[in-house]
Chains A and B, each alone.
Chain A
């Protein structure tokens, strides 16, 4: 079989599987709805919603909005937002809030005193009685706009330009409070907590590949996309498009390849938001690829499992099972070592199995060679450092750009957003749902089905970040690229937006729009406060495709003729539970 023939045979794997699932669902929905109800996966929800406005089954927590192309945050009546911080915001110590805010995680200030709830996956393991008015917000910064930042418009970069860029990625930890007037604000005076971690902050590698390319000490973190929270009160930040940084300008960012070209980027970074002097750590046991996010689930026996997606078309879904169990919630220092060792798996959707990426036990990894006959891997460190190649060697299933993965708080099923894959003709993406065998997160096998399919019939395209609420409803933000949003086949949606889905009942899988983003912006990092009354959200890259400083396509958030700024907001107005 030639490379092209093999490529074509693999190209069809994911789409054949999808078609099989959807065909099966169509049969079940039409002729045997009762049988369908008995399935562990409610495949009926894969049915395309009827064209036109969806009809809600029961009362929604908001009145859905229509698609919008306004350069504004559009919310349903009764909701409002407060801007907490934007690119270049003074952190109070001379450092600046970074660009293109992405993941957010809220850590109530009383968390260390009161503890966590290891079952509250939708709240980042926060107890419901923790403070919902005072805490630390961890915010990722994925990349930056060189023109907005330094006026860069091609050609060589100065050292000053590169230094400014290196400060704009990484993470921010900011103290946020809700005042008596109900408005949220960033308290810049909290020097004990407000912190920037950027591309020059010393960071430690842990695990089997800690010594790779001169490790364990590495220079900073970059490409910080989404992330996750742990049940011991730390934040996980995922490094995604690390390949852009060492590439020569203007095609890449033109950062020193001797530093930023090492295999020190593309990992999951753990940060303790409560200790400003703590050293962030990159956990190599969790693999290196274009990490989108990480969703942790704790099994009944204390097993700690992390689900992760490789945000690139034709890439895989991963699961990490830690060696150590979570048995003592009070042992925070000990628990912070849990992600340093474990087993990494990739999903085979054809067989419904998790494939172990292990150099010692997998003959195919030891035998794998490149096009010139040289071994692809010489150790487990090599396997972890190129987990994507290892997964493909072992015939894990390449899927249509796996982005966010989240765990359902009521049934433990795992939702995966597959944004799109235009090369396969999948323009609008879908959300799929996995159920582990016997509900055990550390299981070796799973079942899966389609939860929702993007397109004009469902009102949304290109699903990305996800978050559940306490009732098991799914909230999703979309990622239609700036060059396509609002145009052609994507025009039905207007700007990018945020959508609400019930996950059970007659309208499960039907999308209701909650929010519309400013021009060319993408919404990211949805996170709830413990009481469910505030939703934190990032507004990334408004006006991203502006041709010049004098030809701006957005002016959000300041308006007038201002340069657009990415930022993070707090949305309030959610109905109180009775």
Chain B
């Protein structure tokens, strides 16, 4: 219940911030490449008028983002890493997004 009250990581931008912090400590060599894609992902999501809530992101939207990315493989890897982390942090409830990314 308490963790459910933590606002920052349940926003798209806040979750990205926390994930970036973890990534830069454990796999810093991926931080720049993944960071650029995830920043673009967040910007496009918010620019489209969707809420700044990570659990509002839909699998269809993720699929469309990857399809429109210049480097689809890298986009898939970055989003997979992000959503696996988000699932482990209990920020998203299901494997739906990671299934899309398999």
Contacts and interface: CB of A to CB of B under 8 A. Distances in A.
Max chain A Cβ within 10 angstroms of own Cβ: one of B7, B9, B31:
B7
Nearest to B10: A7
Interface string A353-378: 00000000000000011110000100
A39 interface: no
Interface string B5-39: 11111110111111011101111110111010001
B45 interface: no
A324 B1 CA distance: 36
A57 interface: no
Given A3-B1, A7-B5, A544-B24, A153 B29 contact: yes
A7 B4 CA distance: 7
A371 B7 contact: no
Interface string A394-429: 000010000000000000000000000111100000
Tell me the interface secondary structure of chain B in the complex: helix
Interface string A286-330: 000000000000000000000000001110000000000000000
B7 A11 contact: yes
Contacts of B6: 7, 314, 398
A457 interface: no
B99 to A, nearest CB: 19
Nearest to B89: A243
A379 interface: no
Contacts of B2: 368, 370, 376, 389, 392-393
**A interface, size bucket:** 35 or more
Interface residues of B, number: 35
A482 B4 contact: no
B50 to A, nearest CB: 15
A313 B9 contact: yes
B26 A250 contact: yes
Contacts of B13: 422-423
Given A369-B1, A423-B7, A481-B21, A547 B14 contact: no
Interface string B65-77: 0000000000000
Nearest to B29: A147
A6 interface: yes
Contact of B28 (A369, A371, A546): A546
A253 B88 CA distance: 15
Contacts of B24: 481-483, 544-545
A251 B26 CA distance: 6
A424 B7 contact: yes
B23 to A, nearest CB: 9
Interface in A475-523: 481-483
A370 B6 CA distance: 14
A10 interface: yes
A481 B20 contact: yes
A63 interface: no
A146 B13 CA distance: 26
Contact of A244 (B11, B17, B22): B22
Nearest to A12: B7
A253 B28 contact: no
Contacts, number: 115
A250 B1 CA distance: 29
A266 B30 CA distance: 27
B7 A314 contact: yes
Contacts of B31: 482-483, 544-545
A423 B29 contact: no
A53 interface: no
Contacts of B18: 313
B26 A244 contact: yes
Contacts of A6: 5
B38 to A, nearest CB: 9
A356 B59 CA distance: 44
A147 B29 CA distance: 7
Contacts of A371: 1, 4
A216 B17 CA distance: 35
A537 to B, nearest CB: 21
A376 B2 CA distance: 10
A517 B78 CA distance: 29
A423 B52 contact: yes
Contacts of B17: 313, 422-423, 481
B26 to A, nearest CB: 6
Contact of A370 (B1, B20, B25, B52): B1
A30 interface: no
Contacts of B81: 251
B84 interface: yes
A333 interface: no
B26 A547 contact: no
Given A147-B29, A244-B22, A423 B9 contact: yes
Contacts of A314: 6-9
Max chain B Cβ within 10 angstroms of own Cβ: one of A145, A146, A247, A251:
A251
A445 interface: no
Given A143-B25, A392-B2, A547 B8 contact: no
Given A7-B5, A424-B7, A253 B14 contact: no
Max chain A Cβ within 10 angstroms of own Cβ: one of B6, B25, B31, B39:
B25
B86 to A, nearest CB: 12
Interface string A529-572: 00000000000010011111000000000000000000000000
Given A371-B4, A422-B8, 7 more contacts: A7-B6, A7-B7, A253-B26, A313-B9, A369-B1, A423-B13, A544-B28
11 contacts: A3-B5, A10-B7, A251-B27, A252-B22, A314-B7, A370-B2, A398-B7, A423-B17, A483-B35, A541-B28, A547-B32
Interface of B: 1-2, 4-11, 13-18, 20-22, 24-29, 31-33, 35, 39, 52, 81, 84-85, 88
